[in-house]
Chains A and B, each alone.
Chain A
Amino acid sequence: MPSRKHSWGVLLAGALGLSTAGIAVAPIAAQAAPPIVIGGTISETGPLATDGAYQIKGIELAIADANKAGGWLGRKLELKIYDDKSSAGTAVRLYERLITDDRVNLLIGPYSSLVTVGIAPLINKYKMATIEPGASDPSIYVAGNEWNLQGTASSIRYLDQLLPAAKAQGATTVALLGLESAFTLACYHARVAQAKELGMKIVYQTTYSLPLPSFASIALAIKNAHPDVVEACTYYPDAVGLTRALHEQGFAPKYLAETVGPVEAPYLKALGPLANRVITNTGWWTNFKTPGNDAFIAGYKAMFHQDPEYHAATGYAAIQALGAAVEGTHSLDQAKIRAWLLANEVPTIQGTFKVNANGLALGYAQDLLQIQDGVLKLVYPEADAEAKLLVPYTGS
């Protein structure tokens, strides 16, 4: 029969053994899951800071959501972001630092075509599969930059639904304008080609650079040509300038469409009644029935106490796509991730992520918005529309 002293000893030895084993195993268990570090830059300062702030918030929300769901490959995600000061040169240096010094696992692209065009060759040199949420300029995604994968609709699709819709409603003539800046110019050339393809008559076309003190002469020339449709691939200040000038010269086309400008908050403030029925484009909208969109909107409001806008959506969608690739390949191998993304389509909050062999976005589209009584409403494609496209533009 075992004595009492003996069983107490066994118990004590067992406890000691277990705790020692536990102490030995615990750090190993913790080491088994180091975080996945995603590196990138964003424009925290400089002229691109305002929109850069939206993009990075979208990325941060996506990371937080992913971590809530357990991370990727069972590991938590960490973000390592530097300020590129809205400068391509600074971004190049910082991405090199992320790759060679910080040795991050994955990369995410910066904001705006201007900065992305600078880092694109570097990304290729180091063969890092990188989703670029902020660069709509299609000329980046060519052979030689094929490790860059476009995470937003290409600018050649901006306003591409307008001319067919207008033609169907009887419009025949069009005036086209384009700002001399990478992605707006690509948009302009695409619209010119589309007009020709549709057999619509281009009665006036011009490109211009900023700053332009007065659009009066251009507006006068447009008035002289009296087109049904005025389509302008603009930024913000030229969108305002053009709209005002058309009004001052006394001309209102049936359809007035501008890119980028009308979506910016100050546009409405600047133009008041002149903005009514202006048409613009977007890659993301609050009424999209895409997977996770409602959660995205609610989560963004909760985390940042403001409404999200489309730059935030591109950032969020990019992380969604990247996560799908990591999980899909069960690895962090850059070549495998790239191959997977080229071969697969990923549903994100802003549509379908799908790229061609050079990384150019094929899946993401651009819908039409129209300002109606001071509020932006989705009007095309009709299947997803919140409201009908109102014609004509009256400038009041």
Chain B
Amino acid sequence: MEGATQPASKGGPIRDPFPGGADGSARARRLRGAAAALVLLALFVAVPLISRGYLLQFATDILTAVVLAYGWNLISGFTGYLSFGQVSFFGLGAYATALMVMRAHVPWYFAAPLSGLVGAAVALVLGPIMLRLRGILFALGMLGLARILEVVFNNWHYAGGSVGLSLPAELTPVAVYVGMGLLALAGFGISAFFVRSGFGLDVMSLNEDEEAAAALGVPTTRVKVIAFMLSALLPAIAGGLVAWNRSYIDPTSGFDPTVDLQTVVAVMFGGIGTLWGPFLGAAALMIVGEEFLVYFPNLELALYGIVVIATVLAFPGGLVGLANRLGLLRRPIVLSPKSLTAAPPEPRPREYTGPVLEVRDLTVRFGGLTALDHVSLSVRSGETLCIIGANGAGKTTLFNAITGSVKPTSGEILYLGEPISRVPTYLRAQRGMARSFQIPRLLPSLTVWENVVLASRHGRQSHRAAEHAAWVLETIGLAQMWRDPASRLTPGYQRQLEFARVLALSPELVLLDEVMAGMTRDEQEAVRSVIRRLPEFGVAAVACVEHVIAAVADLCDRMVVLDFGRKIAEDTPEKVLKDPAVVRAYLGEPL
């Protein structure tokens, strides 16, 4: 497929199409929220008082759908890893509860929550393997998992085989209803945590652009696995409650793919990746399904399919997206500061005195192509090093190897004296190695503020992340735009934001990848002034890859020239630019 860097996606419809936040009157929002909560609580309490039969069962079914919707949303909506097999956890939870109740005589109200842990444990084991796959393979893998589990349980005689297990037929509808209600509330709570917290910001960032998130210090695998575990916990407990309520479980009903279908439709319809979407979608779907589909008995599946198609093509934000256009239910800005109080970073003592970065004999081969051939260089503390070379010389590969996106075939890379070849990208970023991308890889549907605070949370000023982020924004000059979604910035400001993120990490070493590309003279000047001021930000060393040599020649202390993967010159800019070998590399042999 295409080259190493991709253009930033234009906030694809899987995410909230109205990015950036609600701020408006916080008080009005709180009042609306409280009112909604009261209404829902009243409804919740009223149902068991009115009815102990059908209505109660129906309400329990609605709550079950809500729980499943929240669970699905945590993985597919927030992380962007679409899973078409979450019913696997539902079935596992149901069976775990049934086995605990029938074989170990555990009371159901303990067994169901414990089953949640079973689901989470399975997710913990599967997550690291499956979440490293491409998105579609994860989706298919989950689908396959549901099938495999169905066959496994069909053959497992201890669990009843294809006949399944019966549970004691006790009539406890109110207890199950309350339990499911609490579970739905938990789902809402976890989702609210995702939407408002720093952790949630990490999740949303890896949805937008996983590689960029890793470069900003987000521990992507850990975040994904935690989200996956939470997304398994909810359906597993729900499965346990449902198994108890129905007094039986068998492989067909435990791993029923229709459950997945309805969950997907519900969340897509309500608004994927949002806080209220799963609730609105699941409730609407259940009520519409029960009351209206009776009149169109043979159209149910087709209607579900059409809803999904229509939502993706025309209403990607679902109901919540529509509400957003009316100014309602907008996502609040994460970790939003009451005001930007600028406070310069605390100075950090510098322990290590040697070169900040050392590259020794680095070789990178892609199949038959040698992109880098035994390259050695070092970046000393206090200096700015420029790396130039013709296209295809290996400059970006060099950066990718230093940051960890590419695995070296041989050679060593030392950062602050320590070898880092085995250190994952996000950890390098957290230790102070920050890079910018050739084409700014911003997180388009997050605000300017969120883009920056994401980095500062993982950088070396993480203990005062908000203040540091505020300071960086003011210093760079983006303070007025802190609430704007990153996608709305002009290219010049996008480049500034990229810088802001790099600096929010409070790095020792800054790697700039062709920052002058596509800039006007004025924009170049702005970038140059930032580069000059980098030591103010506590940066020890800068390495930049550049094509527009004229713009950086006077900024750098030393220059390295690459040609076909080999270093052919290293000296001061004046000497290097006059070196005949360098001239030959750029302009070719004289005729």
Contacts and interface: CB of A to CB of B under 8 A. Distances in A.
A–B: direct contact at CB < 8 Å:
yes
Given A144-B168, A185-B161, A209-B151, A117 B248 contact: yes
B169 A101 contact: no
B247 A121 contact: yes
B61 A139 contact: no
A125 to B, nearest CB: 5
B235 interface: no
Contacts of B53: 96-97, 99-101
Nearest to B57: A96
A312 B168 CA distance: 33
A43 to B, nearest CB: 11
Contact of A180 (B52, B58, B155, B171): B155
B162 A185 contact: yes
A231 to B, nearest CB: 19
Contacts, number: 80
Contacts of A93: 54, 57-58, 61
B248 A120 contact: yes
Contacts of B294: 83
A88 B248 CA distance: 11
A396 interface: no
A89 interface: yes
Interface string A156-189: 0000000000000000000000001110011000
Interface string B152-172: 001100000111101111110
Chain B interface size, as a band, is: 20 to 34
A100 B52 contact: yes
Chain A interface size, as a band, is: 20 to 34
B300 A182 contact: no
Interface string A116-127: 011011101110
A137 B163 CA distance: 9
Contacts of A181: 162
A223 interface: no
B67 to A, nearest CB: 15
Interface in A66-97: 83, 85, 87-89, 92-93, 96-97
A182 B250 contact: yes
Contact of A125 (B61, B171, B253, B298): B171
B169 to A, nearest CB: 4
B246 interface: yes
Nearest to B167: A121
Given A100-B51, A185-B163, A209-B154, A125 B297 contact: no
A180 B162 CA distance: 6
Contacts of A145: 166, 169
Interface in A353-380: none
A96 B54 contact: yes
B151 A121 contact: no
Tell me the interface secondary structure of chain A in the complex: helix
B169 A118 contact: no
Interface string B227-264: 00000000000000000001110101100101000000
A137 B170 CA distance: 23
Interface in A202-222: 209
Contacts of B162: 180-182, 185
A118 B54 contact: no
Contacts of B253: 88-89, 118
Interface in A97-120: 97, 99-101, 114, 117-118, 120
A340 B370 CA distance: 88
Nearest to B171: A125
A85 B54 contact: no
A366 B4 CA distance: 69
A122 B167 CA distance: 11
Interface in B287-306: 294, 297-298, 300
A83 B297 contact: yes
Contacts of B57: 92-93, 96
Contacts of A118: 246, 248, 253
A25 interface: no
Nearest to B60: A93
A235 B11 CA distance: 49
A146 to B, nearest CB: 10
Contacts of B171: 125-126
Contact of B300 (A85, A121, A122): A85
B506 to A, nearest CB: 54
Contacts of A89: 61, 246, 253, 256
25 contacts: A45-B298, A45-B300, A83-B294, A87-B258, A89-B246, A89-B256, A93-B61, A96-B54, A99-B53, A100-B54, A117-B164, A117-B248, A120-B248, A121-B167, A121-B247, A122-B246, A122-B247, A124-B169, A126-B171, A144-B166, A145-B169, A180-B162, A182-B162, A186-B163, A209-B151
3 closest Cβ contacts across the A-B interface? Answer: A100-B53, A121-B247, A97-B54
Given A85-B300, A93-B57, A145-B166, 8 more contacts: A45-B298, A100-B54, A117-B248, A118-B246, A122-B246, A125-B169, A137-B163, A144-B166
